[in-house]
Amino acid sequence: MALSGLRSRKYFQSAGHLRHIRGLNFWPLKKVLQEKYKFNETEAQAFTDFLVPMLVWDPDRRASAETMLDHPWLSMPNNYETRITPAERE
């Protein structure tokens, strides 16, 4: 699929690997939210559970916006005290 696009040769090598990006490592979304954006574990898990179904590659298996309107993350109470404080970051 990566090689079938009109400009795919600009971005992908013949084996399908990215042309200009080396050493790209997998970083799970929950860990990104916790380590980079300082979400606590509960918030990170809830937001990950919300986002991941919408990021499925196959459109037939991908969650629709209509389906996601009923997701529990959207109705979670605002609890800003659950964020990591600046003191806890240090």
pLDDT at residue 79, rounded to an integer: 66
Residue that is written with structure tokens 């954006």 in the block: 37
Task: Give 69's pLDDT tier (boundaries 50, 70, 90).
Answer: very high
Render pLDDT for 29-44 as a digit per residue (tens, 0 to 9).
999 998 888 888 888 9
pLDDT greater at residue 78 or residue 33: 33
With bands split at pLDDT 50, 70 and 90, how would you rate the model's confidence at 85? low
Residue 12, domain member (yes or no): no
pLDDT of residue 71 exceeding 60, the answer is yes
Q: What range does the domain containing 37 cover?
A: 27-89
Domain count, the chain: 1
15 within a domain of the structure (yes/no): no
**Whether the Cβ atoms of residue 16 and residue 4 lie closer than 8 Å to each other:** no
87 CB-contact burial (10 Å; exposed 0-12 / middle 13-18 / buried 19+)? exposed
Question: How high is the mean pLDDT of the chain?
Answer: 85
**At 18, is the secondary structure helix, strand, or coil?**
strand
